[in-house]
């Protein structure tokens, strides 16, 4: 697959998530897919040593940004993982929902300074979504969780005046 760098990433050690509080916000719409994203995310967080995980549910992907923002504003949250699935249909609805969710989640992260990770699948069909969500296959939920831990560690280190650079630990 062109542009697929998972083999190189697999060699990297998992970040240490011990002591972090991560909140997962998951959309109920397309729950056949989002439940697998959630399984992948919680499994990955466990493997990284995150024991303080909370899950909040929202109706759909369009509602993720508001929930993510109010959670990211809390002092006791180190990162938010937003999980959802938007499958293209015959109308422009896909573009509005996917674009609104993406921009809203980015805005939430930038406004709060807390990592808000975009774990929303935007696919052409259900088959693509299930393949990407499956923790035993592409595990996009697990990838989002790993990004949350990495970014929470980076933000904490840099904002406290710690070292800057790829070799910083």
Domain boundaries, the chain: 36-71+98-148
Provide, rounded to the nearest whole percent, the portion of the chain with pLDDT above 90: 83
Chain CA centroid to CA 169, Å: 22
Nearest to 104 by CA among 70, 72, 62: 62
CA distance 139 to 133: 5
CA distance 45 to 67: 20
Res 114 pLDDT > 50: yes
Mean pLDDT over residues 123-145, rounded? Answer: 97
Res 2 pLDDT > 50: no
Nearest to 33 by CA among 83, 96, 81, 99: 83
Instruction: Output the pTM of the full model.
Output: 0.91
Give pLDDT, residue 1.
42
Average pLDDT, the chain: 93
Give pLDDT, residue 169.
60
Give pLDDT, residue 6.
52
Active site residue 93: yes
- For 43-57, 60-74, 83-97, 121-135, which range has the lowest pLDDT when averaged over its residues? 83-97
Domain 36-71+98-148 = CATH 3.40.1400.10: no
Q: Using 50, 70 and 90 to split pLDDT, how confident is the model at 162? A: confident
Instruction: Exactly one of 6, 47, 74, 93 is catalytic; name it.
Output: 93
* 8 Å CB contact between 125 and 159: no
Res 146 pLDDT > 50: yes
Give pLDDT, residue 92.
87
Mean pLDDT over residues 94-123, rounded? Answer: 97
């Amino acid at each position: 697959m062109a542009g697929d760098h998972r083999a190189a990433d697999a060699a990297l050690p998992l970040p240490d998530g011990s002591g972090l509080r991560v909140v997962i916000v998951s959309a109920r719409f397309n729950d056949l897919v989002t439940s697998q994203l959630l399984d992948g995310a919680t499994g990955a967080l466990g493997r990284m040593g995150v024991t303080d995980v909370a899950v909040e549910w929202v109706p759909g992907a369009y509602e993720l940004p508001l929930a993510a923002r109010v959670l990211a504003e809390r002092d006791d949250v180190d990162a938010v993982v937003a999980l959802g699935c938007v499958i293209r249909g015959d109308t422009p609805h896909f573009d509005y929902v996917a674009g609104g969710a993406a921009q809203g989640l980015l805005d939430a992260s930038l406004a709060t300074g807390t990592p808000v990770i975009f774990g929303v699948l935007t696919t052409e069909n259900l088959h693509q979504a299930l393949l990407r969500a499956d923790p035993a296959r592409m595990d996009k939920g697990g990838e989002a969780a790993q990004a949350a831990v990495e970014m929470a560690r980076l933000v904490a280190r840099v904002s406290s005046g710690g070292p800057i650079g790829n070799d910083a630990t």
